[in-house]
Structure 1
Amino acid sequence: MRGYHRRLLIFKRLLVYNKMGFRKVTHVLFDMDGLILNSEILYSMAIQNILSRYGKEYTFEFKQKLMGLQSHESAKMIISTHDLPLSVEEMMEESNKQFLELFPNSELMPGAKNLIEHFHKHNVPMALATMSSKFSYDLKTAKHQDLFDMLKIKTIGSSDPEVKRGKPYPDIFLITANRFPDKPKPEQCLVFEDAVNGVVAAKAAGMQVVMVPDPRVEKSATADATLVLSSLVDFKPELFGLPAFTT
């Protein structure tokens, strides 16, 4: 009877899937900061540490504009917005000093490990599409190498010569999808994101996107996401035609 009830539950979820218009996908692309890792919090600490020297505040409203940009784009915007007496190179150097101290403390976000391991177990093709630099990526993932090794394809946007523009442009998602051996079409890909810029980029790439936003993000700003969740723990793979979790 347990098997019957499980099949019935999956069937009901698929009815919801059909009603909501989610498309079946075959490949998944993950953002990293604020989605797999809690590194967005650490990034905010790092930038605030720098701005505090000049009596400036790093607000969440401004932070949202930076999320998904390339490293040099972020540095330039921070300098201009806060009128800092620094060059882009100096800002990046100061940031890296902060990152060196803070990023090794990155921890996994709820549900991330379980979801990635589930996809890996069922041979769902996965990729990482992050606008981090290679320097910061290595620091953030140092404690979690086994998990990130399951993401066979990795696009480290701020250090990748093919990625000319950060999010909200679709470049990183299109480039990453093209790196799968079977080169799936955009509509076959599902993106997991936490940032508004990332959602815009995924939609511009022609992909569906599951958003797990910071609770401070205005609800109206999440409207373009295919599905909005409070945590990856709540994700139901079968809604997008992916293997369901077993109980």
Structure 2
Amino acid sequence: MVPAVVFDMDGVIVDTEQYWIEEEAEILAAALPEGHDVDPHDITGINVHEQYDMLTAEYDLLVDREEYFALFDSKAESVYARADLMPGFHDMLDALEERQVPLGVCTSSYPRWIDIVFESNDLEGRFDAVLSAADEPVPGKPEPDLYERIAAELDVDPSEMVVVEDSENGVAAAVASGAYTIAYAASAHDGIDHSPADEVVETPEQLRDRLLTLVDGEE
């Protein structure tokens, strides 16, 4: 049986990835010099400040660190206003809670963005642990540290968790932590490599079935 289930937020709980990809293309155009070859998918799932550090290692950015964050923060309200909650997500949480499974959220998004999602979708109080990369003094995704920390908060070993992720960087982080990793590819873009995950699902129904099967110890 699986002692804990942890969800990424963007692209899993809410279908924001398609909207962030659109906005990130504009942000990169504003922040990077002409002729750059950074694809928005390259930074998806990575904490914004770590994105900045990664990009400055290769480019002379046109904005400073806080201006780069401000570009993202200015887009957040629009992105989350358009994003829908995963169909059947509350029912899924209900089924997991009935089985007394600790639940967590581990995201590269910022606390204010988490608050927007939780308030808009009645998710407050539904999780035993919520971890934002912005609050943690450890490397973010694709490194495993965030998943190791939320495992500690849930009082389980990372290898005892099931993690649901959608981006390459998120999948890489979960796999590296030792968690059983399900790649949620409902809104996947061409070219995303989910192969490191233990399995890939494409619909909320498939995800619910797989989580409950794993939690119930039927596989």
Give the TM-score category using the shorter length. Answer: 0.7 to 0.9
**Other-structure match for 2:11:** 34
- 2:114 alignment partner AA: Y
**Other-structure match for 1:135:** 112
Q: Percent identity?
A: 23
> Structure 2 unaligned runs (5+)?
none
Change (3 A) 1:96 1:238: closer
**Other-structure match for 2:188:** 215
Question: Offset of 1:189 from its aligned partner?
Answer: 0.8
**Matches of residues 34-73 of structure 1 in structure 2 within 5 Å?**
34-51=11-28, 62-73=39-50
Cα distance in structure 1, aligned partners of 2:97 and 2:53? 38
**Other-structure match for 2:214:** 240
**Other-structure match for 1:176:** 150
SS of the counterpart of 2:24?
Answer: helix
Q: Deviations over 1:125-172 (max 9, x none)?
A: 10111111112222233311x3342112100112x134x111111111
SS of the counterpart of 2:182?
Answer: strand
SS of the counterpart of 1:211?
Answer: strand
Q: Which has the larger radius of gyration?
A: 1
**1:189 maps to 2:161:** yes
Greater CA drift, 186-195 or 80-89: 80-89
**1:165 maps to 2:142:** no
Change (3 A) 1:110 1:63: farther
**Other-structure match for 1:6:** none
SS of the counterpart of 1:190?
Answer: strand
SS of the counterpart of 2:39?
Answer: helix
SS of the counterpart of 1:233?
Answer: helix
Change (3 A) 1:238 1:108: closer
| Counterpart selection for 2:83 from 84, 90, 106 | 106
- 2:47 alignment partner AA: Q
**Other-structure match for 2:197:** 225
Cα distance in structure 2, aligned partners of 1:174 and 1:52? 34
Would the aligned equivalents of 2:109 and 2:133 in 1 still touch at CA under 8 Å?
Answer: yes
Change (3 A) 1:233 1:126: same
Cα distance in structure 2, aligned partners of 1:43 and 1:231? 20
SS of the counterpart of 1:128?
Answer: strand
TM-score by length of 2: 0.83
CA RMSD of superposed structures (Å): 2.8
Cα distance in structure 2, aligned partners of 1:207 and 1:176? 11
- 2:64 alignment partner AA: S
Question: Offset of 1:79 from its aligned partner?
Answer: 6.5
Would the aligned equivalents of 2:21 and 2:41 in 1 still touch at CA under 8 Å?
Answer: no
Change (3 A) 1:188 1:51: closer
**Other-structure match for 2:130:** 154
Question: Offset of 1:52 from its aligned partner?
Answer: 5.4
Change (3 A) 1:102 1:79: farther
Would the aligned equivalents of 1:104 and 1:142 in 2 still touch at CA under 8 Å?
Answer: no
